[in-house]
Amino acid sequence: MMLDVPLPDLQADRPASMSAAARRNRLRLYSDGFIFSCEGFDSTSYRYSTTVLIALGDEPFEVSVGARVERCHAAAFRPLVTRTLRARGVPFICLDLSPNHPRYRAFNRLDGDGMLVVPRDDLAELLPDARAFHEGVLGCRSSRAMLYRAVELAARQLDPPEPLDPRVERVMVEVERNPASTWEQLAPLVNVSRDRFSHLFSRQVGISLRLFAQTMKIHAAARYYGSGMSLTEIAQAAGFADGAHFSKVYSRAFGRPPNDTFHGDSIALYPLPEPMVRQTRRGMPVDTDAVWRYGRQQAEEAEGPAGDGGPASAAA
């Protein structure tokens, strides 16, 4: 599960212009997705998540799925679609919905190639907040509200999915808590055969239970951004078989190796609390329940009724 950590209040240090501040990529992590902004790059990716891309300026980006190529200012993508983005020098924001997001399944209903071009005017109300996020001055709760509003606007022409079976919900919560859960651990939650439940899960969620668990492992790995841990340590803590497997899964999903993200200084964000990092680096097993509870606590604080949790990331 991804975490959203409230950050220090930097509103007084707001830069005079976006160009002066947006020298680093920015990332805010949530329990059911993330928001990422950057100055633009080219990539090819295949994600288990739903993605909404929005250009931050007047220049559009180019996206292609199969033989279809579009130049646009906003687009949404169904999960499990290979897409190529050409946005070098084009600032954009990426709103990524994990399979445990309540609106994730609506995008599985995208027909055809799985790409939905969203008219620029439909998302115009989000641009001030999106640009503030890129500057590093949008608060935690405001960022969360922007994520949900963008999803609602992009999905309003899609039919709502059927309600989840309670057994599927129970398994999703358990795998979110412990991505390395085995079928033997999950079976008591469903009381049906593995084959029957696998079919039910895939039909309702839109991806297999195996891919859902893999996505949750990627989220678990994201807790260790900026921790200084090696990729092998991160892979082990997140439930991957080894560093090579983690690197392969991550590279396919994001179009770049994890080393570029985890060990560079190009992304502004906050990592896992230091005591948990020290615990892992000393070879001690991480208390996954504690990490899960920490993420839930931070998400609840981010979505509370009053106040704002600080800006989207540290100043560049």
d(CA 218, CA 211): 11
Select the highest-mean-pLDDT range: 48-52, 200-204, 265-269.
200-204
pLDDT at res. 60: 97
Specify whether the CB–CB gap between 3 and 295 falls below 8 A. yes
d(CA 231, CA 308): 33
Structural Rg of the chain based on CA atoms: 19
Which 8-state DSSP code applies to residue 304? S
pLDDT at res. 269: 56
Span 77-83, average pLDDT: 91
Residue 305: pLDDT above 60? no
Span 160-172, average pLDDT: 91
Specify whether the CB–CB gap between 136 and 316 falls below 8 A. yes
More confident residue, 234 or 6: 234
pLDDT at res. 12: 28
Q: Which two tokens stand for residue 31?
A: 């329990």
Span 142-163, average pLDDT: 87
The dihedral through the CA atoms of 297, 300, 306, 308 has a sign that is positive
Q: How far, CA to CA in Å, does 147 sit from each of 131, 150, 157, 187, 241? A: 13, 5, 17, 34, 32
**Helix (H) or strand (E) run with residue 92 in it:** strand 92-97
Residue 228: pLDDT above 80? no
